[in-house]
Amino acid sequence: MYESHPFPAYTDKFRKAAEEMYLKMRLLGIPEAEYTGANILDCGCGTGEFTCWYASQGTQLTAIDLSRPSIEQARSYAAEYELSDRIDFRQMSVLEMDLPDSTYDLVYSYGVLHHTPDPVRGFDHMVRVCKPGGVVIVSVYSLYSRFLHRIRQRLINRIAGDDVEKRYRWGKRLFPLTARKLKLRAHDDSDAVLYDQFSIPHESLHTVGEVLGWFDKHGLDYTGAFGPLRLKDYLYAACLPEYEQIETTFEGSVLARVASRCLKSLSRLFGFRPDKAHRFERPSALSRFVVQIGWFFLGLRFSCFSIAGRKPSESG
Ligand SMILES: C[S@@+](CC[C@H](N)C(=O)[O-])C[C@H]1O[C@@H](n2cnc3c(N)ncnc32)[C@H](O)[C@@H]1O
């Protein structure tokens, strides 16, 4: 599907990345000094929005994707922003990564593993190519946030069968409000986001506990998550200057705007300040449950969650 409908197709290419990445990295527990100048692997770069954001931070990247047309678009973004010499694009599957062990300081995959038949295999490869002491970030669809969307998809698929174009048309016809919101939030004048959400041939949904298990299997230390996985981390997020940038994504949703205001007031009330040290501790089962129930109500806005972990250094 991504061969005929490369994703994303933002009208303002850098806007989404610029809006969320500074806050995201902070809440993933990865300080700026760690990724500026790092050697990074992007697993499933799509049309390269996040690849270009990382490259614009002075990093060097290898970016892989299965879809040739997506890579071509990513190449032309990179050229447009004069970042070509920082990125080595390769057509390759995240499940069959032909890359050497222990090579990259940071390995990430945003919104990719859940489209593969074996997300754990992809994750295992990511850990393998990460250097000891390096960081792995993975971002996958949440079972909770996409619960209702899964019902929409089932209905569309029942009517439209396997035909990608029919699914897209029925998705727009049956759920015009969702389609409008998706396009608004993706800053997308084309309909790439609608193909991505209504026509996708395969996606798996995951819980936070399950993905933490992937990290545990390799002994990676939890460094943080986005969205945060504890109430305390939400309150901390709301006091950060980077939070202001992401607030623009709440445009158009009254519920999300009210939630955001409440969060900021509570953050002030409990004395959270950006200059005070904050530790992102591994969330308890109760925290995870409460947070994921919140995502259920916020729905597609929290489609994906990201978790970061550090590979043990060789000295242990
Ligand atoms: C939703 S897009 C995400 C693109 C990008 N990471 C982003 O967040 O903007 C999913 C991408 O995963 C790619 N993909 C799917 N299966 C893959 C695989 N096995 N190996 C590498 N890329 C894959 C698709 O071609 C598509 O470009």
pLDDT digits (tens, 9 = 90+) for 293-302: 989 988 887 8
Task: Based on the fold, state whether residues 172 and 87 are members of the same structural domain.
Answer: yes
Whether 53 contacts 17, CB under 8 Å: yes
Question: Strand order in 221-226's β-sheet?
Answer: 87-91, 60-65, 39-43, 104-110, 130-141, 304-310, 221-226
Task: Based on the fold, state whether residues 303 and 246 are members of the same structural domain.
Answer: no
pLDDT above 60 (res 157): yes
Report the nearest-CA residue for atom 18 of ligand 1.
93
Q: How large is the average pLDDT for residues 32-51?
A: 94
Chain center to CA of 155: 26
Q: Is residue 286 part of a domain?
A: no
List the alpha helices (DSSP H) in the chain.
15-27, 32-35, 49-56, 68-80, 119-129, 147-160, 164-174, 176-186, 192-198, 208-217, 231-239, 242-247, 254-269, 285-298
Instruction: Please give the residue that has the higher pLDDT: either 83 or 186.
Output: 83
pLDDT (tens digit per residue) in 257-279: 788 889 899 999 999 999 888 99
Three-state helix/strand/coil letters over 132-162: EEEEEEEEEEECCCCHHHHHHHHHHHHHHCC
Q: Which of 20, 62, 108, 115 to mutate to test the pocket of ligand 1 (most atoms within 8 A of CB)?
A: 115
pLDDT above 70 (res 15): no
Report the nearest-CA residue for atom 26 of ligand 1.
46
Q: Is residue 18 part of a domain?
A: yes
pLDDT above 80 (res 210): yes
Q: Is residue 293 part of a domain?
A: no
Task: Based on the fold, state whether residues 89 and 189 are members of the same structural domain.
Answer: yes
Task: Based on the fold, state whether residues 177 and 217 are members of the same structural domain.
Answer: yes
Task: Based on the fold, state whether residues 309 and 252 are members of the same structural domain.
Answer: no
Q: Is residue 284 part of a domain?
A: no
Number of domains in the chain: 2
Task: Based on the fold, state whether residues 182 and 271 are members of the same structural domain.
Answer: no
Q: Is residue 104 part of a domain?
A: yes
pLDDT above 70 (res 215): yes
Centroid of ligand 1 to alpha carbon of 15 (angstroms): 19
Please report the atom of ligand 1 found closest to the CA of residue 2. 25
Centroid of ligand 1 to alpha carbon of 108 (angstroms): 12
Instruction: Please give the residue that has the higher pLDDT: either 236 or 245.
Output: 236
CB of 111 sitting under 6 A from ligand 1: yes
Task: Based on the fold, state whether residues 50 and 95 are members of the same structural domain.
Answer: yes
Q: Is residue 134 part of a domain?
A: yes
CB of 70 sitting under 6 A from ligand 1: yes
The structure tokens 């992809």 sit at 122
Q: How large is the average pLDDT for residues 232-260?
A: 80
Task: Based on the fold, state whether residues 6 and 44 are members of the same structural domain.
Answer: yes
Task: Based on the fold, state whether residues 91 and 31 are members of the same structural domain.
Answer: yes
Instruction: Please give the residue that has the higher pLDDT: either 244 or 305.
Output: 305
CB of 196 sitting under 6 A from ligand 1: yes
CB of 49 sitting under 6 A from ligand 1: yes
**Residue 248 confidence (pLDDT):** 62
CB of 29 sitting under 6 A from ligand 1: no
Closest-CA residue to 110 (of 76, 171, 67, 63): 63
Whether 87 contacts 21, CB under 8 Å: no
Whether 94 contacts 43, CB under 8 Å: yes
> In CATH, what number is assigned to the domain containing residue 65?
3.40.50.150
Radius of gyration of the chain (CA): 19
**Residue 2 confidence (pLDDT):** 87
What are the backbone dihedrals phi and psi of residue 282, each rounded to the nearest 5 degrees, phi first?
A: -60, 130
Tokens for 234?
């939400």
Q: Is residue 42 part of a domain?
A: yes
Chain center to CA of 119: 15
Task: Based on the fold, state whether residues 133 and 223 are members of the same structural domain.
Answer: yes
Instruction: Please give the residue that has the higher pLDDT: either 119 or 20.
Output: 119
Task: Based on the fold, state whether residues 28 and 169 are members of the same structural domain.
Answer: yes
Please report the atom of ligand 1 found closest to the CA of residue 94. 20
Q: How large is the average pLDDT for residues 226-242?
A: 93
Its domain, for residue 248, covers 231-279
- Burial state string for 68-90 with b = 16 or more CB within 10 A and e = fewer than 16: eebbebbbebbeebebeebbebe
pLDDT (tens digit per residue) in 90-110: 999 999 999 999 999 999 999
Task: Based on the fold, state whether residues 1 and 90 are members of the same structural domain.
Answer: yes
Rounded Cα gap, residues 53 and 69, in angstroms: 20
Q: Is residue 71 part of a domain?
A: yes
Report the nearest-CA residue for atom 4 of ligand 1.
46
pLDDT above 80 (res 75): yes
Q: Specify which residues 62 forms β-bridges with.
A: 41, 88
Q: Which of 94, 112, 137 to mutate to test the pocket of ligand 1 (most atoms within 8 A of CB)?
A: 112
Rounded Cα gap, residues 117 and 155, in angstroms: 22
